[in-house]
Amino acid sequence: MQNQGYRYRHVVGPEGKGIPLAAYLAHAFNHSTEAEWVDRLAGGELELDGTVAISNSRLRPGQVVIWNRPGWLEEETPTSFEVLWHDGHLVAVHKPSGLPTLPGAGFYQNTLLTLVQAQFPGARPLHRLGRATSGVVLFGLTPEATSRLLGDWGGVTKQYLALGTGIAHSDRLDIRTPIGEVDHPRLGKVFAASPTGKPSRSVATVVERREDSTLFRVDLHTGRPHQIRIHLASAGHPLAGDPLYTHGGVPKIENPGLPGDGGYWLHAERMEFTHPISGIKVIVLAKCPLMLQPGG
């Protein structure tokens, strides 16, 4: 499906002082080359402080750049989701694997957010799952409930099922590998295991040992990007089929995939929280795919 395009807004930072616009954009947004930005400028797609921009415009910090990106053909994704629980304040849904939670990485309309807002206008996602990850995603429906729950997000518990490579020797892994940005040849930076990263904790419990893999139930105690993929890889059990992370919790050396690439098995099975308005305890469950069921 071709979307209707998007209007991107960017404020020039101090590093842009005196730099030609096309060169600055190529550095700030390395998904496109300088030549590609020159072509977009020639086509009148960009504005600088409210007027049509030209490629050799010299920048000043604080200037506003607008890219009126024309519509583009998005990759096909699942087109439905399941409502697991809702009231007038919150809604929990089951996101299918292959559907991005939010716009990004070439997706604008083909997202869970678009589908949920068509049924629940104004719904706001309180967290996100990776594109290939399935399971529970929670949305706020009122400003009060959204604000209160985000303010107490540390009290929300989340439990996942994950299929890791190799046979785990221990029944329980308490993984505390710090997570931060590291180099990636295609994206510049991605989140991965890093000694200078933020403190992170996951506890993985063995559910089943298979011939060459282990099914884990994972409790998250922090919420870093791609935390389970990174942590199980750092513990010696990269997710089966993960195109990006390998042993040590770092990107693969040769031809590493992108964070949104699929192929691995990860499912957000359970979420528990105290309702921010009523004070009752809410437990939401999303049935896992057969591959992540014991004996699957």
| Residue 84 falls inside a structural domain | no
State both tokens at 161: 């099922």
Q: Which of 54, 69, 84 is the last residue of a domain?
A: 69
- Give the CATH number for residue 57: 3.10.290.10
Alpha carbon of 191 to those of 135, 203, 243: distances in Å?
A: 22, 19, 14
Region 173-201: mean pLDDT is: 93
Could you tell me what percent of the chain has a pLDDT over 90? 69
Q: With contact defined as beta carbons under 8 Å apart, do 49 and 81 qualify?
A: no
36 belongs to a structural domain: yes
Cβ atoms 241, 265 nearer than 8 A: yes
Residue 18 reports pLDDT greater than 80: yes
Res. 240 pLDDT band, cuts 50 70 90: very high
On the question of pLDDT at 29 being above 90, the answer is: no
> At 84, which helix (H) or strand (E)?
strand 82-86
- Is residue 32 in some structural domain? yes
Report CA-CA distances (Å) from 3 to 44, 131, 158. Answer: 19, 19, 33
Phi, psi of 206 (to 5 degrees): -70, 125
Lowest mean pLDDT among 29-33, 247-251, 255-259: 29-33
Mean pLDDT, range 158-182, rounded to an integer: 97
Closest residue by Cα to residue 268 from 135, 170, 139: 135
Residue with tokens 């009290």: 155
User: Residue 54: inside a domain, yes or no?
Assistant: yes
User: Where is the domain boundary, 43, 69, 95?
Assistant: 69
Query: Quick check: is 274 in a domain?
Result: no
- Give the per-residue pLDDT at 185: 81
Neighbours of 229 (CB within 10 A): 25
Question: Higher confidence at residue 136 or residue 53?
Answer: 136
- Residue 67: beta bridge partners? 8, 46
pLDDT at 106: 67
- Least confident stretch, 155-169, 199-213, 246-260: 246-260
Question: With pLDDT > 70 as the criterion, what percentage of the chain qualifies?
Answer: 96
Do 63 and 160 have their domain in common? no
The pLDDT of residue 2 is 67
Q: Does 56 map to a domain?
A: yes
Question: What is the band of 32 on the pLDDT scale with cuts at 50, 70, 90?
Answer: confident
Task: In whole angstroms, give the CA distance from residue 218 to residue 207.
Answer: 10
Residue 134, CA atoms < 13 Å, CB-side half-sphere: 23
Q: What six digits make up the tokens of 126?
A: 């309180």
Structural domain contains residue 252: yes
Residue 168: per-residue pLDDT: 97
Specify the CATH number for the domain of residue 168: 3.30.2350.10
Above 80 in pLDDT, residue 187? Answer: no
What is the structure's pLDDT at 107?
Answer: 60
Residue 55 has pLDDT above 80, yes or no: no
SS3 at position 7? strand
Residue 163 located in a structural domain: yes
Strand order in the sheet with 51-52: 6-11, 64-69, 46-48, 51-52
Number of domains in the chain: 2
| Segment 100-140, tens digit of pLDDT | 988 765 666 779 999 999 999 999 999 999 999 999 999 99
Domain membership of residue 260 as a residue range: 155-264
Mean pLDDT of 37-51: 90
